[in-house]
């Protein structure tokens, strides 16, 4: 377990507006798991050829994805965007 946390960026209202509650719950579950990875979260998801920067991770079997930043200096994973195809 790490001391990392996660947050919405810029805010939960902005990122999750209009999403079904089940999707929001899955986003928050994934964000908690990414934070539990700690520094290794900079290598999770796309793009596969480099570390850090804005990353993408599939959501609910490819029905959408989340965009996140893992910032080691802040020990935080920031969920920046959620795309949901429904």
In tens digits, what is the pLDDT along the chain, a chain of 86 residues? 679 999 999 999 999 999 999 999 999 999 999 999 999 999 888 887 888 789 999 998 889 999 999 999 999 999 999 999 97
Number of domains in the chain: 1
pLDDT of residue 50: 82
Q: pTM of the prediction?
A: 0.89
Give SS3 for 71: strand
Structural domain containing residue 15: 5-84
Instruction: Please provide the DSSP assignment of 5-22 as one string.
Output: EEEESS-HHHHHTT--HH
pLDDT of residue 70: 94
pLDDT of residue 17: 95
pLDDT of residue 1: 60
* CATH code of the domain covering residue 56: 3.30.2310
As beta bridge partners, residue 7 has 78
């Amino acid at each position: 377990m790490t001391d990392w946390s996660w947050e919405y960026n810029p805010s939960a209202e902005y990122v999750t507006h209009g999403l079904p509650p089940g999707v929001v719950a899955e986003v928050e579950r994934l964000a908690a798991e990414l934070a539990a990875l700690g520094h290794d979260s900079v290598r999770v998801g796309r793009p596969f050829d480099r570390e850090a920067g804005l990353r993408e991770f599939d959501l609910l079997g490819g029905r959408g994805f989340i965009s996140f930043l893992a910032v080691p200096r802040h020990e935080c994973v920031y969920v920046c965007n959620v795309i949901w195809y429904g």
